[in-house]
Structure 1
């Protein structure tokens, strides 16, 4: 009988111990889950902070016989370094008509034109301003980014950004002939918490006129009257836009009968522009555009649609 009592007491003790252990394990599991949730939230906050703090900017940097130049600027605007940043670049056909918009990639070559870090020291800048001294951003020695292509995507070598630092890269894009396209750039870097790749993107549309040589003549061009089978049309364009496209100085007036030429960088004249009299408009200019030559798969009608849109 005593043995039975002992066994019963032992069984009760074991049961209480199991219940206590189960409760402890349950609390431990809840605590671990809570800690994991807190860590995930902290990682998400940090990743959002870092992606928001990496500023990516694309700008046109001109065009010439060697191709179109685009300036890529990445800036660390937070108080933490951003390590192992890489760029990836794709070029997509850009139709002027939204209903005919194409997404296929276009053939081109991409290379580094110029590269250099731009260091912005805010404290130094403030001190310079207080001293009434002109401040220029410090530039360290330029180091070229290398670009490698893999099935229509170009990837750059990795670089680091310190807090407040910017890095600028000018890339050169060369096509077999001028064509409207969109440049999609993605900056990627690993999350410091999870190691997952974080990304931010930016897009720049490269218009056709930006890839052509637009020259302002100021007076009628000799031999421009008889161009054979040309396509002529008139349009009203903003004077400001006309100055931008043809680089007309502000101090120079846009006079009646003034002319401009649109040509490829290989020397083929594509179109000629003539300013028509327009007494009513103050900030707009009436023009006649004569399209003389086609550009590869851009026929004269297609060029008319493109030029009309890009001159607005």
Structure 2
């Protein structure tokens, strides 16, 4: 046999077959690992927080021919913890255990996505959706007591419902004293259910500003439930807009602006204090007893000083005057 025939029919095929064997040994198709979860969604349902941590398991199988290694597991939330094997042998299964602490679950139904990272080229990461709903040992409805806009020197009440879900001795439930002398509350049992009514009284308040405080219900298991209380103490009569601005006015002119006084009950304007350059008049009756329209005329002087004044209005609805800042700039006339 010639050298060329030996090279063509023996040596080259031998080299090709050897190379193919090496490639197959280093990259065996059948040996690829793959992680399969028996379920990709697990619902814990409703978890009473007084019963402690709850555990569920999900089965994972390595359907490949090589050992599959678990690199890490990310739960994607603070209330769940996942433990499992560091590796899974070929064609075997193992369990991942999910622990949930319902005490730190969000109030409503919540969902998180956990991710299992592996060394498998086919399944480098596998997602698992975790759903759970916490049942609190006690709840307040509503969970915020908002009195909204209230008038000074008035008293208001609101009633909330306290539901106790855990098996507690309800006779030992206490309402802690508030930190404000004008905020009081009391608890009475609901005769039709095992719940309680909490009646909150606010006022009278003098300061005209936003009010906020925190009430606390203490339970015999050492837990507490906090209740925010909010209100906005408004003046009986308010001005719209609250500030008047003429912008730039020419000296010697008499520009005017209009504003409205509004209240929740009928009122009358008793007195208006203004600087000499301003003239305020109550316009014709709007037909609404709760509103008054007023007109402010600026007698612009021939001087460069800007207008920075205040209008004070006294009404029958409020012992304190309404203060309205007024601003303006003067453009002097130029000689022809």
- TM-score of the alignment, normalized to the shorter chain, above 0.5: no
Higher relative contact order (CA 8 A, sep 6+): 1
Q: Which has the higher helix share?
A: 1
Larger Rg belongs to: 2
- Shorter-chain-normalised TM-score: which range? 0.3 to 0.5
